[in-house]
């Protein structure tokens, strides 16, 4: 019984995180936290492998709205199409984000209330 309570508490703690499952049923957590420069140089985002113990996506929260859109599309594409090359994923993300931003005028909606960022 104690294990069930512990699991419920963990879910509540992470209630502000966005999670999704890719086409193979692997659950990812999305975190707005700058990827560690030591490991990922100046990357604006990173997607962990679907077979990782904790599949997750990191998105730099300090990007412009257009760059954030592009980075989100790019990293989500990795989560769904892990076997595709970086070049293919980049071409896809650039085309889709440019279309959504320029032709459809998609913009990030600023929400009232505090946004939760994990990390520094």
> What is the tens place of the pLDDT at every residue in 66-90?
999 999 999 999 999 999 999 999 9
Distance CA 45, CA 75 (A): 7
**Whole-structure pTM value:** 0.78
What value does the mean pLDDT take over residues 46-65? 95
Q: 96 pLDDT band (50/70/90 cuts)? A: very high
Is position 59 within any domain? Answer: yes
Task: Report helix, strand or coil for 19.
Answer: strand
Residue 63 has pLDDT above 90, yes or no: yes
Handedness of CA 14, 19, 47, 108 (dihedral sign): negative
Residue 47 domain-assigned (yes or no):
yes
Residue 74 lies in a domain: yes
| pLDDT attached to residue 112 | 62
- Specify if 57 maps to a domain: yes
User: Which domain range does residue 26 map to?
Assistant: 19-103
Task: Tell me whether residue 36 is in a domain.
Answer: yes
- The number of distinct structural domains making up the chain is 1
Tell me if 10 is assigned to some domain: no
């Amino acid at each position: 019984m104690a294990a069930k309570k512990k699991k419920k508490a963990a879910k509540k703690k992470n209630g502000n995180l966005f999670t999704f499952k890719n086409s193979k049923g692997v659950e990812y957590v999305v975190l707005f936290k700058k990827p560690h420069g030591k490991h990922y140089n100046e990357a604006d985002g990173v997607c962990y492998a679907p077979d990782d113990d904790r599949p997750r996506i990191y998105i730099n929260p300090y990007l412009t709205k257009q760059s954030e859109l592009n980075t989100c599309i790019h990293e989500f594409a990795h989560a769904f199409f892990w076997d595709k090359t970086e070049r293919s994923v980049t071409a896809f993300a650039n085309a889709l984000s440019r279309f959504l931003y320029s032709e459809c005028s998609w913009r990030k909606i600023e929400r009232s209330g505090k946004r939760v960022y994990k990390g520094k």
